[in-house]
Amino acid sequence: MAMPEKTDLTCNELVELVTDYLEGALPTHDRLDFEHHLVWCSWCRDYLDHMRRTIELTGGPDESEPPSPLREQLLDAFKDWKRTRET
Amino acid sequence: MQRAAATTPALTEDSAIVAALRRGDEAVFTTLVNAYSTSLLRLAQDFVRTRAVAEEVVQETWLAVLNGIDRFEGRSTFKTWLYRILVNKAKTRGVREARTIPFSALAPDGDDEPAVPEDRFRGPDDQWPGHWASPPVPLDTIPEQRLLAREARGRIAEALETLPDSQRVVVMLRDIAGWESEEVCEALGLTEGNQRVLLHRGRAKLRAAFERYLEED
Ligand SMILES: [Zn+2]
């Protein structure tokens, strides 16, 4: 890891800007500082990787089945809908 | 669910989903209900008072999906559309019940914790103050199967449950429903800045849960 310049963004500051960065909401100057920091700081690159992976997992397939009565009610409603649609 | 998934198109192919629903394909409907209803129910509960009413909202949502499927034009993704119907119905019920979430109140619970605890960074007397003292583990050192494990998603889902309501709703709409920030702001009456703060705090806690999972044996 290259030595940071004293005037650079610190890692502690960077982690609070991650959402603004991902949202494209950082002013140009701040975005350049952010990206410059990432060039030399693999730890913050790892942090950003964590965040991206977390976001992906959050939106990933939900493995928990819906509660049983609700599930059956929905399937019944589907059958009714299909019947009226076909007549 | 596994059985249905094996014989039905991937849930990411919107045109296949829509075509299947239009022709009344029960297996596809079942797969969709299994994949989304738990999240829909969770989200509905943030807008209405009782679980029973939230279940009604989920039922009304799926009926509206079926009745509207012929008019779905694919301008948004199916998932975005599905959650949009749910939020509209849940909000209507919530207003009727006079239940409102203080979305505009940024920190109703005094939540102004940093994204990462201060003690993970070097102190002011260090040569590099504010830089990582205990950095995050690089993901390329973790076996892919561990990153993809059902348990990883499960840990994040658990953490989602513990978020303050306003953070959870914003994270769900952005990262599960796939809404754009503008739509979230409009639906919840938030400014762009406040939406980002809620998203930031919520995501930071989910990431912390993910990291704890990675650091277990
Ligand atoms: Zn850094």
Domain-wise residue ranges, chain B: 14-96, 103-214
Q: How confident is the model at residue B7 (pLDDT cuts 50, 70, 90)?
A: very low
Out of A4-13, B37-46, B117-126, least confident range: A4-13
Query: What tokens appear for B71 in the block?
Result: 């008019």
Residue where the block lists tokens 């109703």? B108
Give the class (CATH, top level) of B14-96: mainly alpha
Geometric angle at alpha carbon B29, from B23 and B33, rounded to 5°: 160
Residue from B45, B66, B118, B214 to probe the interface with A (highest A Cβ count within 10 Å)? B66
Q: Which residues contact B183 (CB under 8 A, 6 or more apart)?
A: B84, B173
Q: Do domains B14-96 and B103-214 have the same CATH topology?
A: no
Q: How confident is the model at residue B153 (pLDDT cuts 50, 70, 90)?
A: very high
Which amino acid does the sequence have at B95?
Answer: V
Contact A74 B59 (CB under 8 A): yes
Taking residues B132-139, what's their average pLDDT? 96
pTM of the model: 0.89
Q: How far apart are CA B27 and CA B12, in angstroms?
A: 15
A10 closest CB neighbour out of B131, B203, B206? B131
Please compute, for residue B126, the number of CA atoms within 13 A of its CA located in the half-sphere on the CB side: 13
Query: How many angstroms separate the most distant Cα atoms in chain B?
Result: 68
Residue B40, pLDDT score: 95
B 80-119 residues inside an 8 A Cβ radius of A: 114-116, 118
Put simply, whether A67 touches B (Cβ < 8 Å) is yes
Cβ neighbours of B33 in A, within 8 Å: 66, 71, 74-75
How high is the ipTM of this complex?
A: 0.89
B188 neighbors B170 (Cβ within 8 angstroms): yes
Residue B10, pLDDT score: 52
Give the class (CATH, top level) of A11-86: mainly alpha
Residue A2, pLDDT score: 54
Q: How far apart are CA B108 and CA B103, in angstroms?
A: 9
Taking residues B144-172, what's their average pLDDT? 92
Which amino acid does the sequence have at B198?
Answer: L
B203 closest CB neighbour out of A42, A55, A86? A55
Position B96 pLDDT exceeds 80: no
B132 forms bridges with which residues in the sheet?
Answer: B121
Spans in chain A with pLDDT lower than 70: 1-7
Taking residues B107-126, what's their average pLDDT? 83
Size of interface A-B (CB pairs under 8 A): 148
- Distances, alpha carbon B189 to alpha carbons A81, B105, B124, B171, B183, in Å: 35, 11, 40, 15, 10
Put simply, whether A77 touches B (Cβ < 8 Å) is yes
Q: How far apart are CA A78 and CA A30, in angstroms?
A: 52
Q: How far apart are CA B126 and CA B142, in angstroms?
A: 30
Give A32→chain B minimum CA distance, Å.
18
Question: What CATH code would you report for B103-214?
Answer: 1.10.10.10
